[in-house]
Amino acid sequence: MARYEIRLPGDQCKHRACSAAPPAIPSRQAPMPHTHFRTCSLCEAMCGLAIELDGNRILSIRGDEEDVFSRGHICPKAVALKDLHEDPDRLRRPLLRRGSDWEEIGWEAALDLAAERLLEVQRAHGRDAVAVYQGNPTVHNYGALLYGQMLVRALRTRSRFSATSVDQLPHMLASLLMFGHQLLLPVPDVDHTSFLLMLGANPLVSNGSLMTAPGIERRLRALRARGGRLVVVDPRRTETAAIADTHLAIRPGTDALFLLALLQVVFAEGLARPGRLAPMLSGLDEVQAAVREFTPERVAAATGLSATEIRSLARAFAAAPSAVAYGRVGVSTQELGGVCHWLLYVLNAVTGNLDRQGGAMFTRPAIDLVALGDRIGQRGHFAKGRSRVRGLPEFGGEWPAAVLAEEMETPGSGQIRAFVSLAGNPVLSTPNGARLERALAGLDFMVSIDPYLNETSRHANLVLPPVSPLERDHYDLVFHVLAVRNTARYSPALFTPPADAREDWQILHGLARRIGARNGSGLVSSWTTRAAGRLGPRGLLALLLRTGPHGRGLRPWGRGLTLKALEAAPHGVDIGPLTSAFPQALRTADRHIALAPPVLVADLQRARTRLARAESEGGLSLIGRRQLRSNNSWMHNSERLTKGPDPCTLLMHPGDASARGLAQGDRVDVRSRAGQVQATLSVTDAMRPGVVSLPHGWGHHRPGIRLGVAAQRPGVSLNDVTDEGEVDVLCGTAVLSGVPVEVTRVPPPPAP
């Protein structure tokens, strides 16, 4: 087993500021309260927390006013870190299935068994018969992120999946095709812009995504206070739309048409002014030609927006001293999501707003994942292979999550027979979760690395639970890369984990080591695996910081960032505002920004079809939503987050309700091609007519889960209605927005 640091009781954390406090050794005197500072690891905002303790008891969790970046901002989820840590339902030891029961077993036995069974399946059915799915929390857990790669390499399977294909894949695709690197993701410079055009995002609730900006509401209000303008494009008048200057209630799934028309106006009216980017652009003429046919007048009916609105928006955007177009999940997970993110980047570029202050900018964080990707030869790739059953393209070595069930169900060489879920709950988070459940039940073997027995892990043969987030150290490898300011902050573990607990990285390394030793991949003897085991994530982190763009290097002396320096700065280190990065940062072969990648231009054929189809469209279209006190599918076992009114209602416009004879509070059936759920109706004019909304991440009514609180208020799963058959065929991203549905009243039970 890898080296594991042992700390003395009371020696809770290593920050100098924290350890200055008296240790929590039991004594006759009341122990002195002690404050621990750390970064919240639940969402992308990286809020600094001040956790007040009395011995090992958490007294309070507040925002850290001195955090160099978040300046005291937090949301209600941070306080639920206490609930998560103390949750009796959170698993502490490996669970082995025995029929319909579970038995706790020791770690060595559990890791041996998992490795042996996975190898058995690979020996019988080939390497690709074992699939791995990596869920969202891996990007909030640097140990899981670094050592998850090691497990995948040890398994040598091509059956890799993650939440990327139900999320940000189109952003990464546009970055890969236009800038030459899938991680060169531009961030809206929200603190300096004069014009933010936001599509399919609701940061007042999500706290920002691919835009780490803690306290986003304050930042958006500041934008308006300095005379800037916020325009929100969303089929629902969201919490963010409510504080915007303009809300455009677009028809779901038509953002590509809207963006094409904005660009058409920019070109037709001679508003394209790329400025310093001009010599770096290639394909400008091709883009101009490609968008020519999409006039505001032609797309108006399809998008549900007026031609005048679109035209004046294009003019205002182009005329603003600085402006940025930003799109997120609502435009990523739609039929033309790939095209949408391409066009968003193009709009920023041709108006001169890419890579300049107030526009869409690139970070220079302490650990530069872009440069790291270069070093290991991984800038990303796309469509190097096609999925076995449906022929959808790979992206970055992964298949779309929407094909997971069919790859498990369809016999033949390459059929998935065993499954590893790492920090994921695809039953609730990928389209047609009910079908995926049936597929999981038919597997030969499944292991879940997860702290809960939930909708997905209940299908496993073995559940391997990691420690709580407060029992491990934390550094945001990913979200510092996506932040609106360059900062760095390291958080030591708050609590020493129990002796028989394992961190994610230890579980993953343990599995990788065993598998590597037995399948002859030579991994066990490889220098990197042994070194990685000895170093642990903390050692790797120290190395990455030293060798990063602001690091001290490997010399023992000199200036620059080290892990030690971060440990001495419990409120984080400010590195400075974002600065221009092009052309140096560009990774395309010709060091140009490729405005017209051929596959994207070709995909406009589907935009034409979409435009034609819009004329015949009627009926209701279902979209999702997020909620402030919820975190995807997994924070619902906290009483404090789930109390209050039913969060899982179907929102519908009053006109649509009365047309169907429905009223507030009715129980309704929501039915699509894929499935059906029941929910309580909430009638609101915040919805665009013709569009209904359900939150995602609920549906805790499944038998056999161990989530006592969540099961009391289960809600229903939006992904029992979304359709795994509907993807953006360009890149395989699931279509989670704009699902055609019928809504009818649930007949009252017959009178007795």
Ligand X SMILES: Nc1nc2c(c(=O)[nH]1)N[C@H]1C(S)=C(S)[C@@H](COP(=O)(O)OP(=O)(O)OC[C@H]3O[C@@H](n4cnc5c(=O)[nH]c(N)nc54)[C@H](O)[C@@H]3O)O[C@H]1N2
Question: Which residues lie near ligand X (CB under 6 A)?
Answer: 43-44, 135-137, 141, 144, 163, 166-167, 199-203, 205-207, 209, 233-236, 238, 250, 252-253, 255, 328-331, 334, 422-426, 429, 449-452, 454, 466, 504, 623-628, 630-634, 696-697, 718-719, 722, 736-738
CA gap 526, 257 in Å, rounded: 51
Among 83, 167, 368, 476, binds Mo ion (CB under 5 A): 167
Closer residue to ligand SF4, CB minimum distance, 207 or 717: 207
Helix axes of 255-268 and 307-319: crossing angle, nearest 10 degrees: 60
Name residue 160's beta-bridge partners.
Answer: 132
C-beta closer to ligand SF4: residue 38 or 93:
38
Q: Which does 625 bind (CB under 5 to 8 A by kind): ligand X, ligand SF4, Mo ion, none?
A: ligand X
Phi, psi (rounded to 5 degrees) for 521: -75, -5
Measured from the CB atom, the residue of 167 and 407 that comes closer to Mo ion is: 167
Residues 21-40 that bind ligand SF4 (CB under 6 A): 40
Report the alpha-carbon distance of residue 186 to residue 284 in Å, rounded. 20
Q: Which is nearer to ligand X, 50 or 404 (by Cβ)? A: 404
For the chain, the residue count is 752
Of 42-50, 167-175, 259-267, 358-366, which part binds Mo ion (CB under 5 A)? 167-175
> Beta strand 229-233 with 195-199: parallel, antiparallel or unpaired?
parallel
- Could you tell me the smallest distance in angstroms from the CB atom of residue 629 to Mo ion? 17
Shortest distance in whole angstroms from residue 634 CB to ligand SF4: 12
Residue type, 31: P
42 is an interface residue for ligand SF4 by CB under 6 A: yes
Within 588-627, the residues that bind ligand SF4 by CB under 6 A are none
Which of 13, 24, 43, 266 contacts ligand SF4 by CB under 6 A? 43
- Among ligand SF4, Mo ion, ligand X, none, partner that 536 touches (CB below 5 to 8 angstroms by kind): none
- 3-state SS, residue 139: helix
Rg (the chain; Cα; Å): 25
CB of 633 to ligand X, least distance (A): 3
Query: CB 524 → ligand SF4: shortest distance, Å?
Result: 38
Q: Which does 361 bind (CB under 5 to 8 A by kind): ligand X, Mo ion, ligand SF4, none?
A: none
Question: Is 532 in a helix, a strand, or coil?
Answer: helix
Q: Is 45 in the site for ligand SF4 (CB under 6 A)?
A: yes
Q: Give 212 or 519: the residue with its C-beta nearer to ligand X.
A: 212
Candidates 41-49, 145-153, 160-168, 294-302 — which segment interacts with Mo ion by CB under 5 A?
160-168
Q: Of 15, 77, 82, 90, which one interacts with ligand SF4 (CB under 6 A)?
A: 77
User: Residues binding Mo ion: what is the number (CB under 5 A)?
Assistant: 1
Query: Distance between alpha carbon 336 and the CA centroid of its chain, in Å?
Result: 19
Burial of 30 (C-beta count, 10 Å sphere; 0-12/13-18/19+): exposed
Query: Distance between CA 505 and CA 144 in Å, rounded?
Result: 5
78 makes contact, choosing from Mo ion, ligand SF4, ligand X, none, with CB < 5 to 8 Å by partner type, with ligand SF4
As given in the structure block, the two tokens for residue 4 are 């594991």
624 interacts with, out of ligand SF4, ligand X, Mo ion, none, CB within 5 to 8 A per kind: ligand X
Helix (H, G, I), strand (E, B) or coil at 281: strand
Smallest gap, in angstroms, from Cβ of residue 62 to ligand SF4? Answer: 10
Closest CA to 421 of 687, 694, 160: 160
The stretch near ligand SF4 (CB under 6 A) out of 74-82, 290-298, 470-478, 514-522 is 74-82
Strand partners, 463: 95, 448
Name which of 140 and 502 has its Cβ closer to Mo ion: 140
In what side-by-side order are the strands of the sheet with 48-54?
A: 34-39, 48-54, 57-63
Question: Which entry of ligand X, ligand SF4, Mo ion, none binds 253, CB below 5 to 8 A by partner kind?
Answer: ligand X
CA 401, CA 428: separation in Å to the nearest integer? 12
Tokens, residue 222: 């500041």
Neighbours of 441 (CB within 10 A): 11
Encoded amino acid at 645, one letter: P
What is the closest distance, in whole angstroms, from the C-beta atom of residue 342 to ligand X in the complex?
Answer: 16
As beta bridge partners, residue 36 has: 51
Find the binder of ligand SF4 among 58, 78, 223, 422 (CB under 6 A): 78
What is the per-residue binding string for ligand SF4 in 300-329, x denoting contact by CB under 6 A? ------------------------------
CB of 632 vs Mo ion, minimal distance in Å: 7
Which of 125, 640 has the CB closer to ligand X?
Answer: 640
Are 197 and 317 a contacting pair, CB within 8 Å?
A: yes
Bridge partner residues of 576 (DSSP): 486
Spatial CA neighbour of 133 closest among 111, 148, 146? 148
Q: Which residues contact 240 (CB under 8 A, 6 or more apart)?
A: 198, 201, 202, 203, 204, 205, 220, 232, 234
* Residue 627 beta carbon to ligand SF4: minimum distance, rounded to whole angstroms: 12
Distance in angstroms (rounded) separating the CA atoms of residues 198 and 324: 8
Cα pseudo-dihedral 440, 444, 450, 452, rounded to 10? 60
Q: CA 328, CA 306: separation in Å to the nearest integer? A: 23
Residues 669-708 that bind ligand SF4 (CB under 6 A): none
The piece of 159-167, 501-509, 583-591, 603-611 that touches Mo ion (CB under 5 A) is 159-167
Under the binding rule (CB under 6 A), the answer on residue 484 touching ligand SF4 is no
Structure tokens at 599: 């596959």
Q: What angle do CA 706, 708, 711 make, to 5 degrees?
A: 90
Amino acid letter, 58: I
What x/- string results for residues 432 through 471 when contact with ligand SF4 is judged by CB under 6 A? ----------------------------------------
Determine which residue in the list 75, 187, 443, 446 makes contact with ligand SF4, applying CB under 6 A: 75
How far apart, in whole angstroms, are the C-alpha atoms of residue 463 and residue 473?
A: 22
Write down the least CB distance from residue 394 to Mo ion, Å.
20
Please, which of residues 192-221 interact with ligand SF4 by CB under 6 A?
207, 214
Q: Which is nearer to Mo ion, 167 or 720 (CB)?
A: 167
What is d(CA 282, CA 278) in angstroms, rounded to the nearest whole number? 9
**Whose structure tokens read 């790329």?**
274
Using the minimum distance from each CB to ligand X, give the nearer residue, 67 or 167. 167
Closer to Mo ion by CB, 2 or 628: give it. 628
Residue type, 18: C
Residue 134 or 529: the one with the smaller Cβ distance to ligand X is 134
- Catalog residues that contact ligand SF4 under the rule CB under 6 A: 40, 42-43, 45-47, 74-75, 77-78, 207, 214
- Catalog residues that contact Mo ion under the rule CB under 5 A: 167
